[in-house]
Structure 1
Amino acid sequence: MSISFVRIDDRMIHGLITVRWGKEYPCDGIIAINDKAASNPILSEAYKAASDKKTFVWTLAHFEQVKDRVLNSSTKYFLITKNPQDMKKILVDMQFKPSDVKTVIVGPGNDRDNAIKLGDNQSFTQEEGDSFEAIEKAGYQVEFALLPDQRIGNWSKFKSRFGY
């Protein structure tokens, strides 16, 4: 198993990821995919410092180049993107299929203009909703949970608010 946990979290890597989620889904390392963070050495180092696990911060293009090595690795990784669109690119467009993962856990989404509020600190735009729909159609369950014990439901519960 190479990927033990898949998450969308606008903060990407922080203490709750490794401490709380790490108990439920053990991992040896973290792969964070975000073009802006990967292209900014200060941001990249800050994310790496947020965890005591081996941490990679990659662009989407780099991930596409190494995705098969990730799948075949004996190391168990968390796969995290900052936004649903990037996760859709990985799971749907690149057809990356982590064999043991059937659920994408969605964490915080900041309140913004034109965002639909689903729960506390979980607001998403129509474009993000379109990505959730595509991820679900690719065979994944999309579940909204800030923490393991703070689950507010899955995409099926909220999709009508985005026109699905």
Structure 2
Amino acid sequence: MAIIHVRIDERLIHGQVATVWSNSLGVTRIMVVNDEASKDEIQKSVLKMATPPGIKLSVLTVADAAERIKAGKYDADRVFMIFKNPRDCLRLIEAGVNLPEINVGNMAHKEGATQVKKSVNVTKEDVEIFKKLDSMGIKMTARMIPDEPANNFMDLIRGLI
């Protein structure tokens, strides 16, 4: 399997992901990895409707994603993996899945969060998770669309560490 792009985007699948990212990456499958979304039939229906024609969709728990990836279930696919939060990325890596790089695309403002880039807000817990990912050698960037220059995400949060 080729995981060709990993993105944190609280919106999961939306216009930007469905058109710009999917087309530029040439994906054959979008994989949403989030425990809550995988158990919500309404959200799964909405995600399916938002997925472009001809692209397969998987909405999985972190545990199911790890199990299926390690079993080679998606070896023939070009996978665009989308997470709702950095915690799920860390959990998947800790379950034995290698991620090539993580693009932080959208994290909405919430209580206690600090804006580090337009559409990217992090809490203290998020910063701790990003520090752990960085210590594991995971490269992290921040960009909204493929044509935007990739900022080093750790540089954006350096003042919060």
Under a length normalisation based on structure 2, what TM-score does the superposition of the two structures give?
A: 0.89
The number of equivalent residue pairs is 159
Question: Deviation per CA, 1:63-99, whole angstroms, max 9, x where unpaired?
Answer: 13212134761111111110011011112x113114x
Partner of 1:161: 159
Structure 1 consecutive aligned stretches of length 4 or more whose deviation exceeds 6 Å: none
Query: 1:36 corresponds to which letter in structure 2?
Result: E
Matched ranges for 1:1-164 at <5 A: 1-52=1-52, 53-70=55-72, 73-91=75-93, 93-98=94-99, 101=100, 103-151=101-149, 153-163=151-161
Under a length normalisation based on structure 1, what TM-score does the superposition of the two structures give?
A: 0.88
Contact 2:68 2:74 in 1 (8 A): no
Q: Note the residue ranges of structure 1 that are not aligned, 5 or more in a row.
A: none
The range that moved more, 151-160 or 47-56, is 151-160
Q: 1:20 Cα deviation (Å)? A: 1.2
C-alpha distance in 2, partners of 1:161/1:71?
41
Query: 2:139 corresponds to which letter in structure 1?
Result: Q
C-alpha distance in 1, partners of 2:108/2:45?
23
Q: Indicate the SS of the match to 2:5.
A: strand
The range that moved more, 66-75 or 20-29, is 66-75
Q: 1:2 Cα deviation (Å)? A: 2.0
Question: Deviation per CA, 1:16-53, whole angstroms, max 9, x where unpaired?
Answer: 11321123322101110111111011111111111121
Check 1:95–1:134 CA distance in 2 against 1; reply closer, same or farther (3 A cut): farther
Q: CA RMSD in A?
A: 1.8
Q: 1:62 Cα deviation (Å)? A: 1.4
Q: Note the residue ranges of structure 2 that are not aligned, 5 or more in a row.
A: none
Q: Indicate the SS of the match to 2:77.
A: coil
Q: 1:151 Cα deviation (Å)? A: 4.5
C-alpha distance in 2, partners of 1:16/1:115?
24
Percent of counterpart pairs with the same letter? Answer: 24
